[in-house]
Structure formats: C-alpha cells, structure tokens
C-alpha cells in the first residue's frame, strides 16, 4: 500500500523526483595522462601543419632520411621498387576524339616527346625524392636541345632550393619560399640558383621567382593547411637507430 500523498512510481521504475534526462559523462582512455603514458605523450603539441613542418624540422628529416635510404639496403630496395612500380615505363596518352588519324598523330608525338625528355626516369626520380625528401619540384622550361617538335622540358630541383631568401620576411601570404593569394593558392615560388649544400653556396644567395603555373610541386598532404612535404620514411626512422627498436 502507498501512504497518502506519496508519488506514484514511474512506469520505468524511475522515481518522479529523479530527472528523466541526466548528463552523459563520457571520456577517452587516450585523453587521460598517467604515470605510464606521460613520457610517451610529452612531445605531443597543437602546432599547425605549417609550423610543425618548419624549415628546420624538414631539413633534419631530409638529411636523416637521405642518409638512411643511401646506407640501408632494405630502405633502398623498398624505395626503388616503389618508384618502379608507381611509374613503370611512364605515362601513355590515349586520344578519344572522332578523328582516328589525329588521335594517332597526337599519341605518337606525345610518346616521342616523353622519350626525348626522358620523362619516365624523371618521374621515378621525383617519386624517390618524395620518400627521402618529402617532396619534389619540377620546373617547366623551354629546352632547345630536346629532340622533339615540342621543346618543353622538366628541370628537377631538390626541396632545399625552394626556400625563403636570406632575411626574407615571412607572413601568412609568403611562407617558406612560396607566395599565396587570398584564397591560399600558390602564386610563385622562390628558387635558389644554387643548392644550399654546394661548396660555393653564398649566404646572400641569388634566387629566381618562378610563377606557380611553371612549377610542379609533388608531395603528400596529410593535414589541412600543409604546404610542404615530409619524407614518407619519417615514421620508420627511429627503427633504424640501435636501441630504439
């Protein structure tokens, strides 16, 4: 029996005095900092993609990745296999217009141009560079020595040469040798005339400003806002250090 004035029980067994909706308190184990994981997560930060991949960080990763690929037979074999499998014998053009004769002519000329500029080998080099350097650049140039009707050529340059000139003031619109418009599209690239690793490289090095339309920038963008690449082999580098396995 219920006493006079007592509240009838709810259909679900919940007391009417208890709120029907209660605050959901959920948490993630990975968000907890404990004595066991504090050392592991000590280097985690909230840097942006551009700041995390600063010129200094990328230079260190490039140097170490190049050293590892050059001296580790496993890394060397994997990168060569990757480049050969990705590029193969090079691209082939297939025209699908209604004029069969025109299709064959353009396809033949494209194949002749690829052979004249050694396009497959250059593409393989760019893929190898993405593994050890994180990125590769190719400048579209006019080369009169090309033995083809079209004199277009690709001049490959290492990532080290695309950089802000000495004492250049960097802003959101100009970062790491690349100038952007208001929408974040690259406008131009500053390319040093000599590699910073050359013996005759001067501190006040001259550079060329190349329009973005004449530059091929090949890298993997893993985060929004990322403008430069880091080596594909980066996560594996600590495995190569004795005592870190």
Domain containing 121 equals 49-240
- How many beta carbons lie within 10 A of that of residue 54, not counting itself? 14
Q: In this structure, are residues 117 and 146 in contact, taking their beta carbons and an 8 Å threshold? A: yes
- Residue 245: what pLDDT? 46
pLDDT score, position 8: 57
CB 154 within 8 A of CB 138: yes
Structure confidence at residue 241 (pLDDT): 64
Residue 28 lies in a domain: no
- Say if 205 falls within a structural domain: yes
Structural domain contains residue 25: no
Percent of the chain as helix, strand, coil, to the nearest 5 = 35, 15, 50
Q: Is residue 21 a part of any domain in this protein?
A: no
Query: What is the structure's pLDDT at 69?
Result: 95
| Residue 103 forms part of a structural domain | yes
Q: Is residue 201 part of a domain?
A: yes
Ranges of the chain whose pLDDT falls below 70: 1-26, 167-168, 203-204, 241-245
| pLDDT confidence of residue 22 | 60
Whether residue 105 lies inside any domain: the answer is yes
The answer as to whether 167 is a domain residue is: yes
State how beta strands 207-211 and 135-142 pair: unpaired
In angstroms, the CA 73 to CA 70 distance is 8
Q: How many domains does the chain have?
A: 1
Return the C-alpha torsion angle 136, 141, 144, 149, nearest 10.
Answer: 90
């Amino acid at each position: 029996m219920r006493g006079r004035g007592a509240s009838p029980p709810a259909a679900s067994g919940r007391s009417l005095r208890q709120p029907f909706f209660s605050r959901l308190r959920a948490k993630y184990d990975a968000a907890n900092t404990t004595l066991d994981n504090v050392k592991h997560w000590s280097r985690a930060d909230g840097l942006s993609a551009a700041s995390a991949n600063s010129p200094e960080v990328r230079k260190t990763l490039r140097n170490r990745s190049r050293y590892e690929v050059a001296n580790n037979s496993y890394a060397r074999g994997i990168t060569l296999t990757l480049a050969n499998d990705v590029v193969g014998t090079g691209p082939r053009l297939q025209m699908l217009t209604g004029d069969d004769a025109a299709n064959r002519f353009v396809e033949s000329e494209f194949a002749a141009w690829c052979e004249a500029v050694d396009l497959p080998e250059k593409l393989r080099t760019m893929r190898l560079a993405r593994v050890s350097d994180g990125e590769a650049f190719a400048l579209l140039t006019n080369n009169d020595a090309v033995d083809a009707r079209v004199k277009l050529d690709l001049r490959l340059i290492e990532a080290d040469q695309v950089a802000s000139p000495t004492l250049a003031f960097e802003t959101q619109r100009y970062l790491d040798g690349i100038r952007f418009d208001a929408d974040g599209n690259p406008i131009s690239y500053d390319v040093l005339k000599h590699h910073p690793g050359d013996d005759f490289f001067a501190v006040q090095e001259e550079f060329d400003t190349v329009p973005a339309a004449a530059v091929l920038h090949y890298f993997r963008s893993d985060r929004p806002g990322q403008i430069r690449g880091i080596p594909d082999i980066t996560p594996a580098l600590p495995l190569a250090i004795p005592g870190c396995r």
